[in-house]
Amino acid sequence: MTAQRVVVDPVTRIEGHLRIEAMLDGKGTIQDAMSSGTMWRGIEIILRNRDPRTAWAYCERICGVCTTVHALASVRAVENAVGITVPRNADIIRNIMFLTQYVQDHVIHFYHLTALDWVDLVSALGADPAKTAALAQAVSPHWPKATTGYFSDVKATLSKFASSGQLGIFANAYWGHPAYKLPAEANLMAVAHYLEALKWQKEIAKIHTIFGGKNPHPNYLVGGMACAIDMQSDNAINMERLNYVKGLITQAQGIVENLYLPDLLAVASFYPEWTTYGGGLGNYMSYGDMPQNGIGDPSTFLFPRGIILDKDLSKVLEVDPTDPDQIREQVAHSWYTYPAGTEALHPWDGVTEPKYTGPKPPYKQLDENGQYSWLKAPRWRGKAMEVGPLARVLIGFASGRDDFKEVVTEALGQLKIPAAALFSTLGRLAARGLETRLAAHWLQAEFDRLVANIKAGDQQVADTTRWEPATWPAECKGFGFTEAPRGSLGHWVHIKDTKIANYQAVVPSTWNASPKDSEGQHGAYEAALLGTPMADPKRPVEILRTIHSFDPCLACASHVFGPDGEKLAEVVVR
């Protein structure tokens, strides 16, 4: 094998447009990698001069998947700027929306966005339904659908689907690749659960509809939430709706505990080598979230705030996103231009001036020494950071939190692996599952808190005393944040004369998918690919495994019905 360049564009089973170029040495090991966001976003320009109270509705539509998270960060930014503290019910309802998004997003990620990197559909067609039933009962004794008849039905449906020679939604994978290690029965079990999760995911989203009026893109409000609470009204949050939410939470817990977690651990147990690849930066950041005493009191957050450097779990450093010396974005390798003499800018002073210097598409390759992405390169005190489930779980664990330690220790014990194994592609997938366990548990706790608060006579969901712009200072700045499912999300707003003077969103995938910075430090995706051996560069399942473990989300895609479909991923080896 000679040194070569593998190009995957677009990377599929992700949200948005991402291009990966990986440079392999003569042995097929990745020596260098480039992550390029190939789509321009531009929300900062759309928001200029708008009413800050409407920003959430625009921001929320950055994405059709994490639809609530941008709205949440946005209302928090504006509230922070003009000095609003939301009522307790609003905090709790926001937490419920937040956790609902987690549980739905993470389950979908596992089954629908990454499972096919590990689960071989074609092998599933050869499984013995009786043996599959026995396996399913052993793996998850409390999940009811584990009979021979059930798996026979699933197998028949899949066989019929595959018999036309076209695999439709399952076409996008490298079936028969030697990197697939599961026995046929485990594959059939996982594919059956893929279908179960597909049916279930539409149920959990109803929680967003109940509190947010619609889904996707539920309604938020600067000052609180837009859903009235009134037990006597048919048109408000009442007992009937609360009971419905309660049922959905119970159902979600069943999916997480009896389907997702057992499947995740079962699949992981067949891929021990993936605890040694894909670790990457070893620097982790979380802004924290899930306030228990208002967003201004990070000490009560259920997701703790902090930084871990160089995989050192013995200390958690502090992060302050409002400190102009901490978080700063660079554009050395990005298609933007900064004012002369400026290398890095804090988001409050952020500048969004596009300047495309790349080749005219379609192009063969990008230049790793030049500008190569529509993403900027955010850094914390000059260091590249990984954000997302692994960061949150490690920071919770390293902060000494019992709930995090319990779920982590239990999973490590079941897989018989040390804590250091978490710094890997598989560790990232495991962390996502473990925080989903916590999220499903917290969902119930937040629901109980809401009911208790309402029972105590508190029906207030919004504070509108500062709704009128006349009550605001002439000029103010605010920072809003959330720990979106994919990681730390920050919105920085600068309000002048009641209008938005500047708005900057630094999203999780800007951190993880960032290009190199002026010092040549890789972003998280790039770093995670380094050192990974590839069995067959024409079928780069190894790249997909690691990139998918981050759950990339870049922007919205196009949508046309075609007989052959679009090319799933142009894989070019040079």
Partner 1 sequence: MTAGSASPQSTTEPLLVLGLGNLLLRDDGVGLELLKRLEGRFADAPGIELVEGGTQGLALLPFLERRPGLLVLDAAAFGAAPGTVHVMWNPEHHAAPRGIGAHEGNAGELLDAARLIGYLPEQVCLVGVEPADISTGIGLSGEVEGALEAALEAATAAVARLTAS
Catalytic residue positions, numbered? 15, 63, 66, 70, 486, 509, 553, 556
> Closest approach of Cβ 523 to partner 1, in Å?
21
**Binding positions for partner 1, 94-133, rule CB under 8 A:** 108, 112-113, 116
> Closest approach of Cβ 561 to partner 1, in Å?
5
**Residue 496 forms beta bridges with which residues?**
475, 499
Site mask for partner 1 (CB under 8 A), range 286-325, x = bound: ----------------------------------------
Is position 559 an interface residue for partner 1 (rule: CB under 8 A)?
yes
Instruction: Locate all alpha helices (DSSP H) within 83-125, ordered by sequence.
Output: 88-108, 121-124
> Closest approach of Cβ 517 to partner 1, in Å?
28
First vs last Cα of the chain: how many Å apart? Answer: 12
| 455, 447 contact by CB (below 8 A) | no
405: tokens are 């330690």
CA angle, corner 176, sides to 172 and 177, nearest 5?
85
> Closest approach of Cβ 37 to partner 1, in Å?
14
Is position 566 an interface residue for partner 1 (rule: CB under 8 A)?
yes
| 459, 264 contact by CB (below 8 A) | no
Site mask for partner 1 (CB under 8 A), range 247-286, x = bound: ----------------------------------------
Site mask for partner 1 (CB under 8 A), range 501-540, x = bound: ----------------------------------------
Is 240 or 564 the residue whose CB approaches partner 1 more closely?
A: 564
Is 219 or 269 the residue whose CB approaches partner 1 more closely?
A: 219
Is 310 or 564 the residue whose CB approaches partner 1 more closely?
A: 564
In 3D space, the residue among 114, 104, 109, 115 whose CA is nearest the CA of residue 202 turns out to be 104
Q: How many residues bind partner 1 (CB under 8 A)?
A: 54
Is 124 or 412 the residue whose CB approaches partner 1 more closely?
A: 124
> Closest approach of Cβ 143 to partner 1, in Å?
13
Is 215 or 258 the residue whose CB approaches partner 1 more closely?
A: 215
- Residue 478 CA, distance from chain mean position: 24
CA angle, corner 561, sides to 560 and 566, nearest 5?
75
> Closest approach of Cβ 57 to partner 1, in Å?
16
> Closest approach of Cβ 95 to partner 1, in Å?
23
Q: Which helix (H) or strand (E) holds 380?
A: strand 377-380
> Closest approach of Cβ 567 to partner 1, in Å?
8
**Binding positions for partner 1, 148-207, rule CB under 8 A:** 150-158, 160-161, 164, 166-173, 192, 195-196, 198-199, 201-202, 205
Instruction: Report the distance separating Cα 253 and Cα 144, nearest Å.
Output: 14
526: tokens are 């790039």
Non-local (6+) Cβ contacts of 346 within 8 A are 324, 325, 326, 327, 328, 492
In 3D space, the residue among 442, 373, 527, 435 whose CA is nearest the CA of residue 109 turns out to be 435
> Closest approach of Cβ 91 to partner 1, in Å?
27
The DSSP code for 360 is: P
- Residue 431 CA, distance from chain mean position: 12
133: tokens are 């039933």
Is 12 or 498 the residue whose CB approaches partner 1 more closely?
A: 12
Alpha carbon of 131 to those of 141, 176, 185, 510: distances in Å? Answer: 15, 21, 7, 45
* Part of the chain binding partner 1 (CB under 8 A), chosen from 42-50, 273-281, 380-388, 554-562: 554-562
**Binding positions for partner 1, 359-418, rule CB under 8 A:** none
Instruction: Report the distance separating Cα 405 and Cα 423, nearest Å.
Output: 16
Q: Which of 215, 352, 453, 504 binds partner 1 (CB under 8 A)?
A: 215
Alpha carbon of 386 to those of 251, 380, 392, 395, 406: distances in Å? Answer: 32, 11, 10, 12, 23
Q: Which of 15, 60, 91, 329 binds partner 1 (CB under 8 A)?
A: 15
Is 130 or 445 the residue whose CB approaches partner 1 more closely?
A: 130
Query: Coil, strand or helix: which one is 173?
Result: coil
Is position 45 an interface residue for partner 1 (rule: CB under 8 A)?
no
Q: Which of 5, 61, 145, 401 binds partner 1 (CB under 8 A)?
A: 145
277: tokens are 């690849």
Residues at the interface with partner 1 (CB under 8 A): 12-16, 64-65, 108, 112-113, 116, 145, 150-158, 160-161, 164, 166-173, 192, 195-196, 198-199, 201-202, 205, 215-216, 556-566, 568
